[in-house]
Each structure stands twice: as structure tokens, then as C-alpha cells.
Homo-oligomer: A and B are copies of this chain.
Amino acid sequence: MAKQRLTELEGAVLTEVGHRGNDTSFKVRRAFERSPSSSWSGSAGAVYPAIARLVAAGLIATVPGETRRGTRLLSLTAEGRAALEAWFTDPLAACSIGADPFRLRAGLWETLPGARRREVIAAMIAAVRAEMAKLEGRDDLDPVERIGNDLARMQQEMRLAWLERAGG
């Protein structure tokens, strides 16, 4: 009955419920919507079915909320906590390379003729700076999300350093 392996979205849902205090489907979904990562839109059509799968697998328990809004309060079961820990402590999954749109494109910038290349690099520097400003503006983060935010900032700093070397 327990799921074979969690998807990234399912792991992230368990994280929201178990360590970030998002105890309803709606709050989980809103947390994804507000996250700066482009990887998920936090769409209802992804989050609600994912939670339904986790409930069916016995990893999330639900109790009806007190209001008449139809709210269901979510919590991790013992199995859910175990599945979450297995998910986030797997070294192969955690340290694999992932999908980085910058890495996929950077090699191609070097193929452009000089003037166009400098123009593109300048636009990229501006875009990275804008992303960094967004990341630095967050001061309402819990400790778990804080670390994710710091890592995202470090990656943008790395991109910036690379661009400044490439553009000079």
C-alpha cells in the first residue's frame, strides 16, 4: 500500500505539512504559488491529486475542520514521517544535478558574435540581479524555507560571477 517512491512534488507536499505548518490543501498550494522557484506553478490540478495520492497511501491523515468551508486539516502519519525522511535523506536523489535552465543555455551564449553576445550577457546580468532582489526581500521565512532561499541566492551569486567573467 505504501508508495514505492515519492515524486519531488509529493516530497515537497509532505515537507509543507510536516515542517512548515501548512495544514490544509489550500495552504500547501498557496505556499507553492508564492515560492520563487519556477519548477511548479502550484496549480490545483497538481496539488489536490498529489494530496489525494498521499492520503490513499496512508502518509497523510485528514480530519474535518471546524468551519463549514469544507476545509480538511492535514497531518503526517507515522508512515508519512518515515516516507518523508527516506525522501530527504536519499543522497543520490538529493545530490543529483537537476534541471537548470541557465546551465542548459550558457554554452550557447558563447556562440554569438561579440556585440550580440555582450548584449545578451548584459541582459542576463540584469535578470539575475532582479531574481536576487526578490530572494533578498523575503524576511517572513521559517527556518526550513530560509535555507532553501539561501541556497537559491548562492546559486544566483554563482551565475552572476560566471556572467561577469564571461562578459568582461
Contact = CB atoms under 8 A, between A and B. Distances in A.
Given A39-B98, A94-B102, A108 B19 contact: yes
B88 A108 contact: yes
B95 A127 contact: yes
A139 interface: no
Nearest to A117: B89
B39 A147 contact: no
B98 A99 contact: yes
Interface in A85-116: 87-89, 91-111
Query: How many copies of the chain does the oligomer comprise?
Result: 2
B158 A154 contact: yes
B104 A11 contact: yes
A130 B130 CA distance: 34
A130 B91 CA distance: 11
B107 A148 contact: yes
B144 A39 contact: no
B158 A155 contact: yes
Interface stretch (A45-53, A57-65, A68-76, A118-126): A118-126
A94 B160 CA distance: 12
Name the 8 nearest CB pairs between A and B, nearest first.
Answer: A107-B144, A91-B127, A39-B99, A107-B147, A38-B96, A95-B127, A88-B105, A103-B151
